[in-house]
Amino acid sequence: MDQEKSKFGILLSTVLFFIALVVLILFLIPRVSNLKILSNQVEAKRVEYETGKIKVMNAEDLKKYIEQSKGEANLLGVALPANSSAEDALLSLTAAAAAADLRVSGVEVQDDEKGNLLVSLSTRGTFENSVSLLDKLKNNLRPTKIVDFQMTKTDDDVLTNLSLNLPYYTDSASSVSPTSTATSKTEDTR
C-alpha cells in the first residue's frame, strides 16, 4: 500500500507538473509574448514622439528663418525696388534733406528705363548741413550714386545741386549699378 501511495503520489505529481506546463504554455507564454509586443510598441511610440518633437523644433526654426527672410526681402525691396519707386525715392531724399536741416528748393525726376531713377535735387542751407546730407545719402538703404555735385555760396547760405542715380531692378537691366549720368540745372530763386 505504501508503494501504491508512493506511485500514486508520483503519478499525481507528474500529472500536476504536466498540467502546470500546459497552463504555462497556453496562458503565460502568450501573455509574456504580448507584453514584449506591447513593450516594443511603446518603444516605437517613444521614438516616434522624439522624432515628432525634433520635427516641431525644426518647424519652429524654419518659421523663424522664414520670418527673418521676409524681413530681409522687404529690406531688399526697399534697397533695390522692382520699379523706379519715384515717390519712395523722393520721400527718402526729402526726409534726408530735412534731417540735415536743409530746405529743398527744387527736384526733378526722370526714369532712364535702364534700371536707374535720375533725380536732380537742389537744397539751401549751411555748408555743414550740406555735408551732413551727403553722409545721409551715403548711408541710405537704397544705393545712391552722386553723378554731379555743385555747391554755390550765396550771401546768406549755400546752394547745393545734386544729380543722383538710384537703381531699381528690371528684367532688362543688365547691371544693377548705376552707369548713366544726368545733370541738373536749377536756377537760384531767392
Domain residue ranges of the chain, discontinuous segments joined by +? 1-79, 86-167
> Please, which residues have CB within 8 angstroms of residue 118's CB and are 6 or more apart in sequence?
109, 110, 111, 112, 163, 164, 165, 180, 182
Choice between 55 and 22, residue whose per-residue pLDDT is larger: 55
- C-beta contacts of 68-74 below 8 A and 24+ residues apart: none
Whose CA is closest to 144, among 174, 118, 173? 118
Residue 28: DSSP 8-state: I
For residue 38, give the amino acid letter: L
For residue 6, give the amino acid letter: S
pLDDT at 41: 93
Q: Which three cell numbers stand for residue 112?
A: 532712364
Residue 49 has pLDDT above 90, yes or no: yes
Q: Which residue's C-alpha cell is 555735408?
A: 131
Quick one: average pLDDT of 165-174? Answer: 67
Q: By the 8 A CB rule, do 92 and 136 touch?
A: no
Alpha-carbon distances, residue 89 vs 24, 140, 148, 164 (angstroms): 88, 10, 18, 11
Cα separation of 178 and 139, whole Å?
Answer: 17
Residue 180 has pLDDT above 70, yes or no: no
Q: Into which CATH architecture does domain 86-167 fall?
A: 2-Layer Sandwich (3.30)
For residue 75, give the amino acid letter: L
For residue 185, give the amino acid letter: K
pLDDT at 118: 87
CB atoms within 10 A of CB 105: 19
pLDDT at 102: 92
Cα separation of 97 and 137, whole Å?
Answer: 9
pLDDT band at 76 (very low <50, low <70, confident <90, very high): low
Residue 66 has pLDDT above 90, yes or no: no
